[in-house]
Amino acid sequence: MSAVTGMRALVTGASSGIGAATADVLAAKGATVLRTSRTITGPSSFACDLVDGVEPLVSWAGDVDLLVCNAGLGYAGPFAAMPAAKITELVGLNLVSQLELVRAVLPGMIARDRGHVVLVSSIAGAMGVADEAVYSATKAALKAFADALRLESRPIGVTVVHPGVIDTPFFERRGAPYTRRRPRPIPPVAVAEALVAAVEHNRAEIFVPSWLRFPARLNGAFPAMVRTLQRRFG
């Protein structure tokens, strides 16, 4: 039996991509899955915009054992030309709403002495990406938040997930398609399966695909060298 069997799980951004795949994997393993996004429909689903506030969602969901904060938005383009409204939109959805949602469900988890929080960051949160400055900043903030939350909320599990290039509508929605030959996009179910395995084994941090751990760690140890490589190879 999986460790997530019988869990009541709330997954944000669950209408497509990583969120939809994660919800499906959790359901297949015997979890009761509650899905939310701006446009989602169907049973056990709640459509809402997290930027407008998390209270209606939390009231609908009730007590949850597993929270997967996956909702997010990208933007591609030079920071100097980025509209101010887009900065507010990205920070509001990718960061502020995630913190508010965790804050809303965490007291119940602590009171019940069980629970797990998953924050979906990005490789861009481990090493900045050109033309994605604000997106990188919001995802890096999630990583720092996860590290701090883990220290103060035991025995509640906290996992941060760093996906790389995933075959989802994300790139079209950010305003620029993915055009590089390498690395090739991987299917969202690969992230979903790794995410659920991380919950089952209470892992603090995962990279998907796993080889991304190397450049992220290299960036931490030798940032000047990595910046040089990024400028040369993109």
Are residues 34 and 58 in contact, defined by beta-carbon separation less than 8 angstroms? no
Secondary structure string (H, E, C) spanning the chain: CCCCCCCEEEEECCCCHHHHHHHHHHHHCCCEEEEEECCCCCCCEEECCHHHCCHHHHHHHCCCCEEEECCCCCCCCCHHHCCHHHHHHHHHHHHHHHHHHHHHHHHHHHHHCCCEEEEECCHHHCCCCCCCHHHHHHHHHHHHHHHHHHHHCCCCEEEEEEECCECCCHHHHHCCCCCCCCCCCECHHHHHHHHHHHHHCCCCEEEECHHHHHHHHHHHHCHHHHHHHHHHHC
Given 35, 54, 68, 135, the catalytic residue: 135
d(CA 136, CA 125): 5
d(CA 50, CA 48): 6
Q: Is 75 a catalytic residue?
A: no
d(CA 70, CA 18): 8
d(CA 102, CA 95): 11
Known catalytic residues are: 135
